């Protein structure tokens, strides 16, 4: 029986992504297993404790999930095997009987807090903010309280017997998150694939341009480019690039070989198919 790790407890957006992936691309023998944090989840896949794992990697409003990128770069040897894009809808959850006037504490994951910043400023200015490892953990901790609220999912409300006090409290109506499935194998090309790499170039004029020019020369579309501190010394940066294509294509293989030979540091993160879900595509996750 195969296992797919997801960020728990029940009711997280990561669980929703995991179940959509299993329903469409895995047989009935596959089962989901929850982990309390992203680092523990990724480490479990790296150890072979779970066959695959689903983690968030980027939000349309708040950007990259740093812990995911850092672990893929520095700590594990795993590949991105699939990408799932989900719309993100945040709700304000409370115990039954709690009103807006009762709330003195807000609990949620830092990304969710950031994605609802305007709502909190308008409606709950000055309340205490408590960060949790997941939105569902926030919901779990609100159970039985009379002065606390969680920013979380409808599934978490169902799982923990909470009331949805306010719906759709996120600031951006087009809020969405990229989730990736991680594993130890590289999936075969499907004809609709993306690839991801991370690299570092030396501090000389034109070094980065020479890398990017290769993609333009071969008419390869970049879907993301981002720089992050290399965690060595101030002023050294890693560059993350996502682009269309699969490593098994001749042109992509030649591009990657060129970058690998010219970069100070290079790591291939995977080639993978992707799917984007809309609101009407999503059924509630089992709780």
pLDDT in tens, 212-264: 999 999 999 999 999 999 888 888 899 999 999 999 999 999 999 999 999 99
Question: Which pLDDT score is estimated for 279?
Answer: 55
Q: Is 177 a catalytic residue?
A: yes
Question: Which pLDDT score is estimated for 249?
Answer: 98
CB 225 within 8 A of CB 267: no
**In a shared domain, residues 78 and 96:** no
**In a shared domain, residues 76 and 151:** no
**In a shared domain, residues 80 and 124:** no
pLDDT band at 147; cut points 50, 70, 90: very high
pLDDT at 121 exceeding the cut of 70: yes
Looking up tokens 């994605």, which residue turns up?
115
Nearest CA-CA partner of 11 in 147, 119, 137: 137
Q: Averaged over 190-194, what is the pLDDT?
A: 96
Give the mean pLDDT of the chain.
Answer: 93
**In a shared domain, residues 41 and 180:** yes
Domain that holds residue 100: 91-166
Residues in the chain: 287
**CATH, residue 234:** 3.30.70.260
Q: Averaged over 163-179, what is the pLDDT?
A: 93
Percent of the chain's residues with pLDDT above 90: 85
What residues are paired with 265 via a beta bridge? 200
**In a shared domain, residues 157 and 205:** no
Cα(136)–Cα(151) distance, rounded to whole angstroms? Answer: 9
236 occurs within a structural domain: yes
Last residue of a domain, one of 134, 157, 186: 186
**CATH, residue 113:** 3.40.190.10
**In a shared domain, residues 182 and 226:** no
Question: Which pLDDT score is estimated for 286?
Answer: 32
**In a shared domain, residues 63 and 95:** no
CB 17 within 8 A of CB 7: no
Which one of the listed residues 160, 179, 239, 243 is annotated catalytic? 179
Could you say which DSSP state residue 64 is in?
A: E
**pLDDT, tens only, 22-60:** 988 877 778 999 999 999 999 999 999 999 999 999 999
**In a shared domain, residues 222 and 200:** yes
pLDDT at 283 exceeding the cut of 70: no
pLDDT band at 287; cut points 50, 70, 90: very low
**In a shared domain, residues 69 and 113:** no
Which one of the listed residues 12, 14, 177, 239 is annotated catalytic? 177
Q: Averaged over 74-103, what is the pLDDT?
A: 97
Looking up tokens 């596959």, which residue turns up?
30
55 occurs within a structural domain: yes
Going by their DSSP bridges, the two strands 128-131 and 105-108 should be labelled as parallel
């Amino acid at each position: 029986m195969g296992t797919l790790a997801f960020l728990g407890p029940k009711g997280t957006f990561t669980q929703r992504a995991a179940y959509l992936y299993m329903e469409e691309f895995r047989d009935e023998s596959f089962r989901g297993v929850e982990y309390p944090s992203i680092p523990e989840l990724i480490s479990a896949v790296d150890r072979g404790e779970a066959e695959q794992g689903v983690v968030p990697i980027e939000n349309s409003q708040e950007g990259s999930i740093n812990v995911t990128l850092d672990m893929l770069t520095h700590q594990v040897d795993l590949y991105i095997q699939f990408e799932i894009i989900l719309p993100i809808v945040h709700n304000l959850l409370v115990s039954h009987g709690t009103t807006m006037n009762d709330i003195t504490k807000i609990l949620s994951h830092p990304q969710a807090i950031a994605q609802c910043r305007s709502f909190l400023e308008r409606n709950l200015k000055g309340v205490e903010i408590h960060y949790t490892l997941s939105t569902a953990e926030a919901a779990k901790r609100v159970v039985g309280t009379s002065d606390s609220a969680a920013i979380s999912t409808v599934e978490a409300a169902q799982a923990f017997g909470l009331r949805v006090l306010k719906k759709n409290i996120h600031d951006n109506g087009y809020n969405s998150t990229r989730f990736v499935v991680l594993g130890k194998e590289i999936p075969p090309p499907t004809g609709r694939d993306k690839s991801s790499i991370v690299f570092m170039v030396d501090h000389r004029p034109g070094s980065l341009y020479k890398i990017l020019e290769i993609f333009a020369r071969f008419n390869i579309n970049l879907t993301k480019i981002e720089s992050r501190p290399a965690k060595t010394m101030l002023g050294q940066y890693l560059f993350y690039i996502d682009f269309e294509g699969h490593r098994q294509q001749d042109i992509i293989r030649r591009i990657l070989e060129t970058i690998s030979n010219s970069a100070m540091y290079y790591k291939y993160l995977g080639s993978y198919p992707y799917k984007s879900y809309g609101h009407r595509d999503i059924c509630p996750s089992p709780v």
